[in-house]
Amino acid sequence: MAITAALVKELRERTGAGMMECKKALVESNGDIEAAIEAMRKSGQAKAAKKSGRTAAEGVVMVAIAEDGKRGVQLEVNCETDFVAKDSNFEAFAEAAVATALNSDAADVEALSALPLAGDGETTVEGARAALVAKIGENVQLRRLVRFDDVEGALYSYSHGARIGVVVELVGGDATLGRDIAMHVAASKPLCVSAEQVPAETLEKEREIFKAQALESGKPEAIVEKIIEGRVRKYLEEITLLGQAFVKDPDQSVEKLLKQAGAQVRRFSRVEVGEGIEKKTENFAEEVMAQVRGS
């Protein structure tokens, strides 16, 4: 069967693949467009599997909150390069995936991956991810999903570009305060809301470090405990939201700001692209030298 330009164009529109790839698939399927699509999907899944081991430390953090402010999600979608993170196809997939998460009860990325992609009833989130990998040539992964359900107050968010996303559950206060607190969390990176939420083993480890430092400096045993307690208080001020100085007014703490507004932060989540992923460092000079030596 003759492979016409119109047939190639139709396959391109339906798959988003390149012209030459579409023509090749049609030739192999003898012009059967449905068979060509099936073969390309299988090929795309194979390509996605091959790329799944490559480091994906770039990407975006998507935040979506329901109109009533009572339900929200954060979703980290990773790729290999900053260039692809700004690609319209990648952005569209990330937006559809976070919309799917918001309108579902998926507890993690595994459950989310199995759901039909929002706006596309013909494929799952995983199917769309695999197709995107085949199209853009990079590993793409859904890495983290954070849910906010059963909200007592209201949810507020702040996004620093597409790399940092924060959601705060605030009881009392207003939208301005909620956004200010979310912006503070993005900038100051507290670990938890209050000192009571700091794990006992974390505090004990810090106490041991502070004690060793005090003894090493030659301080008398009699005042070592006082030094330790002072440093523990300072440590708690640095890592807890309530203890930190408010970024927009460092003369007052976040705790004082909230008390003045009669508000309370129940919880928050701060997600930053690529946290904890060890990125591969390329040394092109060494790579060239290695090639020269081997030639």
SS3 state at 21: helix
Predicted TM-score (pTM) of this structure: 0.73
Q: How many CA atoms, within 13 angstroms, populate the side-chain half-sphere of residue 211? A: 9
- Would you state the CATH architecture of domain 54-149? 2-Layer Sandwich (3.30)
CATH number of 151-190+249-275: 3.30.479.20
pLDDT tens digits, residue range 221-233? 778 778 888 888 8
pLDDT tens digits, residue range 234-269? 999 999 999 999 999 999 999 999 999 999 999 999
pLDDT tens digits, residue range 119-148? 877 899 999 999 999 888 888 999 999 999
Residue 50 reports pLDDT greater than 50 = no
CATH 3.40.50.720 describes domain 199-239: no
Spans of all domains in the chain: 5-51, 54-149, 151-190+249-275, 199-239
Higher pLDDT, 171 or 54: 171
The predicted structure's pLDDT at residue 212 = 81
pLDDT tens digits, residue range 153-205? 999 999 999 999 999 999 999 999 999 999 999 999 999 999 999 988 888 88
The predicted structure's pLDDT at residue 75 = 98
2 Cβ contact list (under 8 Å, min separation 6): 31
CATH number of 5-51: 1.10.8.10
Residue 210 reports pLDDT greater than 50 = yes
Arithmetic mean of pLDDT over the chain? 86
CATH topology of 54-149 equal to that of 151-190+249-275?
A: yes
Cα(114)–Cα(86) distance, integer angstroms:
25
Residue 90, token pair as written in the block: 């990648």
CB 142: neighbour CB atoms within 10 A?
Answer: 23
DSSP 75: E
Cα(119)–Cα(237) distance, integer angstroms:
45
Residue 101, token pair as written in the block: 């998460």
